[in-house]
Amino acid sequence: MAFRKLKVESCLWQHQEAWSRGTQVVANYNFEGSSPDDLPFKKGDVLTIVQPTKDPNWYKGKNESGKEGMVPATYVQKRKEVHLQAMPWYHGKISREEAEALLNDFREEGDFLVRDSVHFQGDYTLSIYFEGMVDHYRIIAKHNKWYHGKIERKMAEDLLHPREDGLFLIRESVNYPGDYTLSVCYQRKVEHYRIIYHKNQMTIDEETYFDNLNQLVEHYQNDADGLCTKLIRALPKKGDSFGAVRIQDFEAGGWVIQKKDLQEIELIGRGEFGDVYKGLYKNQFVAVKQLKDQDRAAQAFLKEASVMTSLRHPNLVQLIGVVLGDTIRLVTEFMGKGNLVEYLRSRGRSVIQKKDQIDFATDTCAAMEYLESKKLVHRDLAARNILINENNTAKVSDFGLAKYGDYSTEGGKFPIKWTAPEALKNNNFSNKSDMWSYGILLWELYSFGRVPYPRIPLADVVMHVEKGYRMEAPEGCPKQIYSLMLRAWNLNPAERPTFKEALQELQNLRSTTV
């Protein structure tokens, strides 16, 4: 190629090191390109060097979608590796079974190790001993757009649109645990290929083997090699995002409260991230949720607050502000009668009337209908997360797990008895999975705070539900309410009512309940 002179900013660094094929570089600046042969990219994009050129300031490279073109070396820098080898908890390339054996030798709660991911080149796996079991969590160091996690065949086919040749994704195999499935479009159909995991290697045809999925994908992007087509374009996974929340955003938005203006009166509870106090702010009682382990949970804590800043409804617990500093505090409206479970159990049938129950049910449904209209999925709807104020108004709280839109997620622990089967099995959450949880909440409400699925061991709940078991109506429960419960527990999410539909039913029932 002819040597080209780039018009660059004075801050761009001078490239000196020669990069070999396969080197990963990260963009320091946006590059729009000035020739059809150039590869445009944005700041932060990760590119792979395909080959050097005669001009030391230009390389042929490709982006994460596989598109190739010319890359100016002065706009990018070699990606630096994180050297975990010096860390005592890093165990390198060991298998899942070896990790479990090591952790089971000690059986200490919270013991952990980090190892190279067997399936994803460049990623890691966190293995941690918790409650008698070893859990494994993928640490994503390199984001693979084509990996969609545990989704079923039909969902893969629904996602792969438009049906252009070579559009593909990779998912966990539903029928063969531990294996994967390559789903790829060809001639307006979707073909599915099982990726067999055998002896720490991957193969489709049992002839060509790869150390990981990244190598397999790269191979079939270059050559169909027996597949119906080459892999041309990855379908990016949408949904679960882990964006950071900036403290400055709370300051700019006017949500910051000065610590000197807040008085903490008494400890009233312990939450997921820290202690909860009754407090006083501008002559009104407030609840103060205090973060006790900032290094571990600050982002999750601030994420809950950021969700709450966008919500306004009379049946949602309102955020008043955030106190920043060494200890972060969330300040919300004070709900004097506590959570619904304790309220039901402490008062019982002698105090709580049918009118109270239908009021609580309607209040909660109204809040959820509002979240549904905002396309916000709560994920942790249960009577323990419904708070009651002095006027006996019920309000939905605890947005620590809330997410916008229907989505799938990897990892994490969820309350089994309250979570919809598709969410437990495939990690698919939606407003319809919230509706399943609402059905469980109604059962709690009309049983006066009993734990759901009495006499069924926790490990057997999902099996019983999938075989058709449904809890009986609590004593004295109105037929209309039990009918709503059963419809909320339909195994097919599409057959469950919306919160808008349920709210209309409850409002009609409320008008006739005395």
Q: How many CB atoms lie within 10 A of CB 201?
A: 15
**Residue found by looking up tokens 């804590």 in the block:** 301
Contact assessment for residue 22 and residue 49, using Cβ atoms and an 8 Å cutoff: yes
Which residue type sits at 74? T
Residue 162 preceded by cis peptide, ω within 30: yes
Instruction: Report the DSSP pairing between strands 407-408 and 428-429.
Output: antiparallel
Please write down the HEC assignment for all residues of 153-166: HHHHHHHCCCCCCC
- Cα torsion 125, 129, 134, 135: sign: negative
Q: How many CB atoms lie within 10 A of CB 197?
A: 19
Residues recorded for the chain: 514
Q: How far apart are CA 382 and CA 451, in angstroms?
A: 11
Q: Which of 116, 356, 380, 434 is catalytic?
A: 380
Q: How many CB atoms lie within 10 A of CB 350?
A: 6
- The tokens for 268 are 């009233």
Is residue 380 among the annotated active site residues? yes
- The tokens for 208 are 């060509």
Q: What is the DSSP string of 326-366?
A: SS-EEEEE--TT-BHHHHHHHHHHHH--HHHHHHHHHHHHH
Angle of CA points 390, 392, 393, to nearest 5° = 105
Q: How far apart are CA 452 and CA 190, in angstroms?
A: 41
Active site residues: 380
